[in-house]
Every structure is written in structure tokens, then in C-alpha cells.
Amino acid sequence: MIKVAIVGSTGYTGAELVRLLSHHPEVEIVALTSQSYVDQAYEEVYPSLTGQVGLSCQAQDIEALMNEADVVFLALPHGLSVPWAQEAYRQGKKVIDLGADFRFREVQTYENWYKTKHEAPDLLSQAVYGLPELNRHKIRESVLVANPGCYPTASILGLAPLLQAKVINPKKIIIDAKSGVSGAGRSAKLGSLYGEVNENVKAYGVATHRHTPEIEQEIAALLGMEAEKVKLSFTPHLMPMTRGILSTIYGELLENLQISAVELRQIYKDFYDKEPFIHITEEDQWPQTKWCYGSNHVFIGLTVDPRTHRVIVTTAIDNLVKGAAGQAIQNMNILFDLPETKALERPGIWP
């Protein structure tokens, strides 16, 4: 059995890790940490998980926890993962960081966008960006996996076939994305209150959102370019729903290129052939967030607008599963040479 510890287990992402891993046939959860609920039974924090784990929350003792676990999931805010990653690397343990601390190859990019000094820039070169559909061979050989952000997951998966096929201009990409409120985390915030969110839609982080450079970095990697040579416009919106991300991507076709929606759809089907979680919809069938609610599945719809000479792609994921905990477990399965779908096979919940 793989012994698993979850650091930051009482946030929404941590709870989703517990929910999914508690039914993983190859996993034993040995430790759940929390800052706010030390010594409290986990099922008291999340009654929905009564009878699933039988553990209490413990303090965040790095050395003791590392001794117990084969793999550690870090569900922490940015800036807090470094000590854990350093100790794990020292001990040769595997770490999957669901925060932003190891997603960037250039320390300056992280420090500029997150306004935080990185305390272990030497470890950035050891981290692998954990998007399995693009990097599974690198993930398999790694010990430190940087789990992608939720918006970048939806955006990069929607863009990757276009970029590899070289049919759009990589400097003229627009991403309009919507997310459920759970993406803001469990802590009390004015903007997440029911009275603020219900019957309301708002843009936020306009032209400044921290996921922008993450998407640009991975687009550049696909194209074999330096990250600073890729520029895109990314605007996220908060929706009055609990879960889900819907990203609509606009790409300008290269000049004089003529391609039909049928041809483009085949490019996507070929690119994601045999990918168990990626589903390309048929003509005039557009993804909905409810299709993947509570699941690790991804739905991608697309068309060509000949009038504007643009490609339009829409991607739907669950921000807490494929956008966080589910993808982290998919990465763990790869690290331990298990089928990627293990504990993630279930479809979304409808309605």
C-alpha cells in the first residue's frame, strides 16, 4: 500500500483529496494535517466523510510526517510548500504540490507575480509540471510534481492541439474563463459570501491574474519558445455556482490558412487519442460544467468562425478535481506506476 499524507487537509482541495483517496485501493492515508483543527476528528470537520478515514487532524510536524509517508500532497497557499518540499527531497520522498511554489521554471516570474521571495530556487529545476496529458513521461521519473492551477489546466488542454498543429498565432490568444466559488477556498472572505455571489457575475484579476504567466510558460514550452515571447489575454470571472470551470478560448488562425471545423476536430481527436479523461464533443455540442461535476473528466468543444478567421474552443472541468485533487491523484498514479484512472473512473454527478 502507498502511504499518503495530506498537508492542509481541511481546505476544499484537501477534503477532495481525502474523499477520492479514501476509495483508492492502493492507498492508505496515514496523516492529515491542519492548522485550525489539530486533534479534532476529521469527520467532525467534514461530516460528509464520516466513516471514511478514521483519523484526527494533526499538527504540521514536517520531519515526523515525512517518516510516515511514501508520498505527500501539499494543499497549502503559495509560499508555504518550500520547507516540505526540501525535506521530502532530502529524504527521497515523493511530493505533489497543489500550490504555485514549483510551477515556474524561472524564479523571477514567480516572485514578480506572487510578490513572494522563493526560498528554494534550486529546487525549481527538479520540479515537473504535472499535466499528465503533456508531461506523463517526465512525471514518471520525478520526485517533485507541481500540480497545475485549475484555470491553466482548462486553458492549456484547450490550446495544446492548436499549438502543436501550428494553426493559430500564439501572440493573439484570448481566454475568457469562469469559475465556481470553491476556487476561492474555504476561508471566510467578503467576496465569497452568499449575498455577494448569488445572482451575480464578476470579472476579477483583470490583466493581472497569477495564472496568466503559468499558461504562457506552458504554451511556450509546447512551441519550444522562451516564455516571454508568448503573450495572451486572460480574464477570469466568478460565477454563482459551487464547482466548475468553463474556459472559452479565441485563437486567430494563421494568415491564408483555411481549415474547417471538421478538420480541426480531427486534430483534437488525434491529439487526445486514448486519453481516458479527455472528451471531444461533436459539432454544435458545447461543454457544460455539470457534465464533469465531481469528476476528473474534461470536455472540449470547438469550431471555426470563417467570418472572423478565428478558432473558438470551450473547455469544461471541475476545478476541485481535474483542476486540483483529481489531477494530483492522476500524477500519483503515474509516479507509482499505477493505471492513471485508478480511483478516478467515476463520471460526473448529474443533475
What residues act catalytically? Answer: 150
- Contact present, 34 and 61 (Cβ < 8 Å): no
For residue 343, the Cα-to-chain-centroid distance in whole angstroms is 17
Nearest residue to 7 via CA among 100, 67, 81: 81
> Rounded to 5 degrees, what angle do the CA atoms 294, 177, 12 make?
35
The C-alpha cell 445572482 sits at 199
- Decide: helix, strand or coil at residue 124: helix
C-alpha count within 13 angstroms, C-beta hemisphere, residue 156: 28
Q: Where are the beta strands (DSSP E) in the chain?
A: 2-7, 27-32, 71-74, 94-97, 127-129, 144-146, 168-179, 202-203, 232-238, 245-253, 278-280, 298-305, 310-317
Q: For residue 263, how many other CB atoms are within 10 A of its CB?
A: 12
Q: Is the Cβ–Cβ distance between 96 and 328 less than 8 Å? A: yes
Contacts of 71 (CB under 8 A, 6+ apart): 2, 3, 4, 5, 93, 94, 95, 96, 332, 335, 336
What is the dihedral angle through the alpha carbons of 14, 15, 16, 20, rounded to the nearest 10 degrees? Answer: 110
Distance CA(223)–CA(225), nearest Å, equals 5
3-state secondary structure of 140: helix
* Residue reference for cell 483529481: 326
Q: State how far the Cα of 98 lies from the Cα of 210, in Å rounded to an integer.
A: 15
